[in-house]
């Protein structure tokens, strides 16, 4: 992060250009939906009064795995890249630079509405470079990635923004 003297030189406090330093934009921890078999079983059990306690027991290990200090996973978006990180002190497992991202696809399944989570596929040169599984609020995380690309990668904005001419007052 930027030091206090750097922050005084910034036009907008907290906004750091990628050439100067890497700044966190957004972070998300995967939900239980990242493991579809367990999520489906848990969802079906929870929908019945009798099976709900068993459903909670089935899903509990996955819930606690996401917050255990040594095993925690998170998806991180910065002004330079998108990363999958593991551990209490985040260790990068996989990354894609914002400049390499061509598109971000939202993939929903049967569990998406129940867990309010979906998968994101990051596309680079026509190939899926990274899959972020079970992201809560995946549509907003997707938009954050696209916005970061448009804001921080020269020339990317023109690919995703369609030009819409203004209409003359009283005109068609």
Over residues 13-60, the pLDDT tens digits come to 556 767 677 888 899 999 888 888 888 888 898 888 888 888 888 888
pLDDT reported for residue 60: 86
Q: Which residues of the chain have pLDDT under 50?
A: 1-5, 7
The token pair at 32 is 């239980």
pLDDT reported for residue 69: 72
pTM of the model: 0.77
pLDDT reported for residue 143: 93
Proportion of the chain in helix, strand, coil states, percent, rounded to 5 = 35, 25, 40
Residue labelled with tokens 């994101």: 120
CATH topology of domain 16-30+70-152: PH-domain like (2.30.29)
How far, in Å, CA of 126 to CA of 17, rounded? 28
Q: What percent of the chain has pLDDT over 90?
A: 31
Give the three-class secondary structure for 57.
Answer: helix
pLDDT reported for residue 4: 43
Domain regions of the chain by residue span: 16-30+70-152
pLDDT reported for residue 168: 62
């Amino acid at each position: 992060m930027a030091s206090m003297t750097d922050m005084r030189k910034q036009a907008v406090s907290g906004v750091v250009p990628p050439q100067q330093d890497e700044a966190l934009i957004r972070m998300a921890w995967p939900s239980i939906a990242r493991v579809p078999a367990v999520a489906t079983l848990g969802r079906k059990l929870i929908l019945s009064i009798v099976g709900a306690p068993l459903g909670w027991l089935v899903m509990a290990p996955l819930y606690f795995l996401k917050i255990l200090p040594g095993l925690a996973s998170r998806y991180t978006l910065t002004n330079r890249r998108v990363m999958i990180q593991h551990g209490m002190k985040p260790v990068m497992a996989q990354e894609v630079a914002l400049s390499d991202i061509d598109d971000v696809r939202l993939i929903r399944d049967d569990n998406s509405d129940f867990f309010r989570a979906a998968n994101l596929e990051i596309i680079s040169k026509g190939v899926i470079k990274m899959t972020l599984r079970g992201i809560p609020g995946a549509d907003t995380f997707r938009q954050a990635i696209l916005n970061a690309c448009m804001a921080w990668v020269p020339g990317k904005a023109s690919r995703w923004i369609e030009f819409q001419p203004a209409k003359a007052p009283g005109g068609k």
